[in-house]
Amino acid sequence: MKKIIYTVVFATAVLIFAPSCNKFLELEPYGQPSKLSNMSDAQAMQAVYALFYWQYNEGTMGRGFMWYENVSDNLITGRTQAEAQNFKNFTQDANGSRDVRDNWPKMYETINYSNNLLRAMPDAKNLSEKVKNKVLGNAYFMRGFSYLWLAPWYGDNGPNGGIPIVTENTPIDSIDVPRPASVLDNYKSIIADMDKAADLLPYFNEIPEGERGLMHKTAAWSIAARASLYAAQYDPSYYAKVVEYTDKVINSGKHALLANYDDVFKIENNWSSEYVLSVTSNEKDGAKLPGVLFQNGGFGYYNTWGYFQPTLELLKAFKPGDKRRKTTIILPGDTVQFIGKQIIWAVNPSSVSTLSGMTFGKYLKPFAAADCVGKTVNPNSDNGTTDLSIPIVRYSDLLLMKAEALIWQGKNGDAPLNLVRVRAGLAPLTNATKDDLKNERRCEFALEFGVFRHLDLVRWGDAQAAYAQPLHGYKVNLSGSSISSLEEIVVWPARTFNPTKNHVFPIPAREVAKSKNLKQNAGY
């Protein structure tokens, strides 16, 4: 879906879906089915595009959920930020930060948008069958996706339960529903929505170029696989579902790995064979993650924000010869092209904002050219989007989800895992272990939306031990204009992770206050 289309239609769509946060899951302001059922094909497509407004929100696709991922052992905060420090140290309260606080209502608004469209479709007599299928397919998809974007962070199989499930069949005066007993109820609901979406949606290659960014079959199967993977931490029978859904994508023949890992993060490959689902972005709007990385203040060339920086622990996870390291992490002494300037990281200029002495390079390619601002980079550095669409699901994710499910079932996961390893320049493994799989996910997906290291550590039962270790980085010692030595230093002290509390985060306090039935997570 071209961003220009979204920009044009949003003004119309917002009339249908004007949001309000006065009450928990308030429905009335989002538009009633009696209005939606009279839509023409063109109006219905405008309503579909409005489902994707969350992609351009700072909370969901900028810092937002990355504050949660920032607690992992892959990252430290690259500048002083009190809220980030509280999250990192598991001392945050339910008031949270602005960006995190906004995620819950934004995603429930999308759920309600979806429900209204689903509720309206039986009476939508003016729509062609093709458009009706697009509306239904994207509505089912976005409802399920929105639940998955929240459920792993806030729900469990006890003592807290899942997050509230509201569908098109929930009476309007009963939408303040209690939490289900288990987050497994959420995952079942998500999988059901993705099944319905996949039945209605086309394959990606069947979507017109001007509608790229709308959902498709393999995206739906991929989210069903991810929901099954999260469910398997509570019910191992879901590993079979992971294999089932990943095989649907793999056997479709619609996707493949690019030959070079570095090419994944180039603008020209936004819609490559490795693409499954991403945040459709451009130099005017989209995912704000690229702008919140690199160096705080961008050395005066462009105001990047410098928030998320890699740790030495992440660096050491890359084996010798792993081509992914160079794409992912910029080390002291590495050369970077930034706004047409050649920067030798931590040498010229020598002062960097990150305590770890390193930075991420994964999303920097749009910033390389001297004339990139206004072409591939947003001219407004407070909204640092680029023409690079930020991945949420890549084909390699399907391969490693399948490998994990097979290994956790006591089966052999070598075939899918080795496709990823060989592309990275590593030798294939025989009888790959759980530890092998864990490291592949860490190196393949560092700082990518959707594949969150913190959620992996929690569901594997590794978080408490990992977070009990301090995090390290480099102190760069210079001799003139050369690096004389790199000294390993502690950049974040060991932390206390309570697995009976910190496996979930607090639901934003203002959402609990709006509801009669929504209960806060235990201990917050």
Dump pLDDT digits (tens) for 133-158. Answer: 999 999 999 999 999 999 999 999 99
Q: Which helix H or strand E contains 477, and what residues bound it?
A: strand 471-479
CA distance 111 to 146: 6
Give just the sign of the alpha carbon dihedral 201, 45, 142, 7.
positive
Q: What is the pLDDT of residue 341?
A: 97
142 token code pair: 């976005």
Give the pLDDT score at 7: 36
Burial class (CB in 10 A: 0-12, 13-18, 19+), 271: middle
Provide the whole-model pTM. 0.94
What stretches in the chain show pLDDT beneath 70? 1-34
Q: Give the three-state DSSP class for 339.
A: coil
- Report the C-alpha gap between 450 and 225 in whole angstroms: 12
Check residue 157 and report its DSSP letter.
S
Read off the pLDDT of residues 429-440 as tens digits, 9 standing for 90 and up: 999 999 999 999
Distance (Å, whole) CA 30 – CA 38: 16
Query: Taken in order 394, 399, 403, 406, is the CA torsion positive or negative?
Result: positive
At 25 the pLDDT is 31
pLDDT at 34: 55
> Which of 322, 325, 320 shows the shortest CA–CA distance to 310?
325
Which amino acid, 198? A
Instruction: Decide: 169 and 511 in contact? Cβ < 8 Å.
Output: no
Residue ranges per structural domain of the chain: 289-388
Say how far apart CA 455 and CA 465 lie, in whole Å.
14
